[in-house]
Amino acid sequence: MSLAMEYRPSFIQDPVQLVNEWCSAQSQLYPGLRFDEKHSILYKPNLSEAGRVTVLSGGGSGHEPAHFGYVGHGLLDAAVAGSLFASPNVKQINRALEVAASPQGTIVIVKNYTGDKLNFALAIERFKSRTGNDVRMVLVGDDVSVPRSRGKFVGRRGLAGVALVHKIAGAAAHRGLDMDRIVELCDLACHNMGTIGASLAPCHVPGHPSDLKIETVDILLGMGIHNEPPISTLPMTSSPARVIQAMLQLLLDNELAEHGFLEPAVKDSSRNTVLLLNNLGGLSTIEIGALTAMTITIMRDRYKMVPCSVLRGTYLSALDGHGFSITLLSLVDSADGSLLLNLLDEQTDAIGWTPPSSLNRGSEPDAFEIHTTHPASGSICLEQDCRSLRNPSNPVPVIVESILAEVTRAEPTITKYDVVLGDGDCGTTLLAGAQALKRASDKGLLSEQEFAPSLMVLADIVIDAMGGTSGAIYGIFLTAFAASLNRLQKDSVDLSVKDFSFAASGALDILMNYTGARIGDRTLMDALIPFVTELKVSRNLSGPAAFQRALESAELGCQSTRQLHAKFGRSTYVSENVGRDTANGHTRPADPGACGLLAVLNGIQHVIKGC
């Protein structure tokens, strides 16, 4: 590989303008649909009167035609778009849930990425709590390239197979099937489906030079749709047949303990199999057609499998990713298998969907919101006996200013660490949240509130300003923390250290319902869990003393991540050897999320010490 700084030519260099113009085009191209420009949502009108289950999906932009291109009769009812390669935020998703709401319920289809999963989960829980509507999330993880040992905590990534799940769910909903039955069919498809990708070069984000521009001399096997590193490589001189054979081996060889995700029965020649050959964005139509023909031939000659249905084209791209992916969906020999096939065949007017071609059919089948009470006024007390720190004014604006100063100071380091082992946005995302809080504080949106309700306002601002995984995690924790304090703050009763530790412990429990990350998994939880745990242990001390001890525990937890390998987030898929810092005696840099949390806590500590 050779490294160089370079811009790749694009007609639209501004990624924000690119997404906005794409979204704007949808309202012009689909006159029967509605477009919510503020929240980037494309949807069908009057869904509450449809008399059936509705289907919603979404995710980061850059994967077109997913997901806007799949809104139409027989497919999705609504889709919500985030920025390039970034999950839509909770407010966007909440609005999408509102426009897609149906008395019969809503199914939300989400690709298995941490940011998407957490933001959609938070929005769903808040929406269900507020409305009582039945909303179910179907999580799609079909990538077979991620080894079991590396992805056992986060699961497989969501790739082009999500398009098949969209079609199955959408067609089933338009048939009038109920919620339980549609979810059952989606789960059946997910369980019997796998995808593997191969690329000649990483995709290019418009307007962004690549700090480490990779001119590949290898074919990248298993490269992710956000430029996540490949699981292995093949020589660039490898024939197309050799590449396809390697991909099919990862899909079908059950002797590969780390990758054999599909059941051995998938290779049974009597079973119907759907083949999806997906263009990642940068291949020509003729090349996709040729690769499809070669894949069918190799499946027949090597595995005695002839797909009964073939889909080829661009279903889930990675901007201009110069590669393709193969998805296999094995249809169980049952009425349900026949039904899945029929649902994929049913017509749709969604402009992004390319219908399948029928080949050998064998025997032809028959045709999170937490409700709170209004808090009474009260003051804040962080002293053990509530004698001091009785502050009739709201300290939140001062805390916000201190947090911004600390986050601004730490952001370059956090970003540097995240560039090495993540997608590089952890520091800038956290800084955007802190800056949004400061703007709100300057407008008086926080100073006019008592402490507990100020925290709820603060949580809403964070949810709106911070996208991706960190925004969802901070949003869930702050929402639950503020709700608990609202319940504790009664008529003129001061909040003590015990109250704060109780609220923090409860908020952590709620957060852990939505993420499996724990101590040792190299996430911000390595700092947050020790902080909350020590705050509870030290609840009988004075406020400053308790917070100092909790902060020291968080610092130790953050430093411990230098010796850990990630089990959650995009850094999960990065090689063990990336980012080693042996010169400083560390395995790798500290986790950027834990460093970010530490900056926030240090900002709070400065205010508490000043009191």
Q: Model confidence at 216, in pLDDT bands (50, 70, 90)? A: low
What is the arrangement of strands in the sheet containing 218-221, beginning at the earlier edge strand? Answer: 232-235, 218-221, 193-199, 323-331, 272-279, 309-313, 357-358
Q: Model confidence at 22, in pLDDT bands (50, 70, 90)? A: confident
User: What tens digit of pLDDT does each residue of 337-347 get?
Assistant: 999 999 999 99
Give residues with Cβ within 8 angstroms of 284, minimum separation 6. none
CATH 3.30.1180.20 boundaries in the chain: 152-202+216-361
Mean pLDDT estimate for the chain = 85
CA-angle at 196, arms to 190 and 202, nearest 5° = 130
The fold for domain 395-610 equals 1.25.40
User: What tens digit of pLDDT does each residue of 537-565 get?
Assistant: 999 999 899 999 999 999 999 999 998 87
Note the pLDDT of residue 424.
66
DSSP codes, 152-168: TTT-PPP-THHHHHHHH
Active-site residue (options: 166, 226, 259, 322): 226
Q: Omega of the bond prior to 65 within 30 degrees of 0, cis?
A: yes
User: What tens digit of pLDDT does each residue of 308-330 get?
Assistant: 999 999 999 999 999 999 999 99
Alpha-carbon gap, residue 137 to 196, rounded angstroms = 24
With a threshold of 0.95, does the pTM exceed it? no
CATH 1.25.40.340 boundaries in the chain: 395-610
Which backbone phi and psi does 325 adopt, to 5 degrees? -130, 155
Q: Model confidence at 162, in pLDDT bands (50, 70, 90)? A: very high
Q: Strand 272-279 and strand 323-331: pairing?
A: antiparallel
* C-alpha closest to that of 408 among 603, 592, 557, 208: 603
Q: Model confidence at 488, in pLDDT bands (50, 70, 90)? A: confident
Note the pLDDT of residue 569.
62
226 in catalytic set = yes
User: What tens digit of pLDDT does each residue of 377-390 get?
Assistant: 333 444 443 323 33
Cβ count near 492 (within 10 Å): 9
Note the pLDDT of residue 493.
57
Q: Which residue has the tokens 């402009």?
A: 351
Give residues with Cβ within 8 angstroms of 266, minimum separation 6. 192, 252, 273, 328, 330
- Do the Cβ atoms of 338 and 331 come closer than 8 Å? yes
Note the pLDDT of residue 372.
33
* C-alpha closest to that of 234 among 252, 222, 248: 222
Tokens of 483: 């709700």
Q: Which residue has the tokens 């304090």?
A: 485
Higher pLDDT, 567 or 486: 486
DSSP codes, 294-338: HHHHHHHHHH----SEEEEE-SS--TTBSEEEEEEEEE-SSHHHH
DSSP codes, 506-527: HHHHHHHTT----TTSSSTHHH
Q: Model confidence at 56, in pLDDT bands (50, 70, 90)? A: very high
Point out the least confidently predicted range of 148-162, 165-179, 568-582, 592-606. Answer: 568-582
Q: Which CATH architecture has domain 152-202+216-361?
A: 2-Layer Sandwich (3.30)
Note the pLDDT of residue 416.
86
Start-to-end CA span in the chain (Å) = 56
Q: How far is CA 237 from CA 122, 249, 296, 320, in A?
A: 47, 19, 22, 22
Which backbone phi and psi does 533 adopt, to 5 degrees? -60, -45
Tokens of 360: 């050998």
CATH 3.40.50.10440 boundaries in the chain: 12-140
Superfamily of domain 12-140: Dihydroxyacetone kinase; domain 1 (3.40.50.10440)
Higher pLDDT, 294 or 19: 294
CA-angle at 561, arms to 559 and 564, nearest 5° = 145
Q: How far is CA 423 from CA 115, 529, 599, in A?
A: 12, 24, 20
User: What tens digit of pLDDT does each residue of 31-54 get?
Assistant: 889 999 999 999 999 999 999 999
- Do the Cβ atoms of 98 and 343 come closer than 8 Å? no
Give residues with Cβ within 8 angstroms of 577, minimum separation 6. none
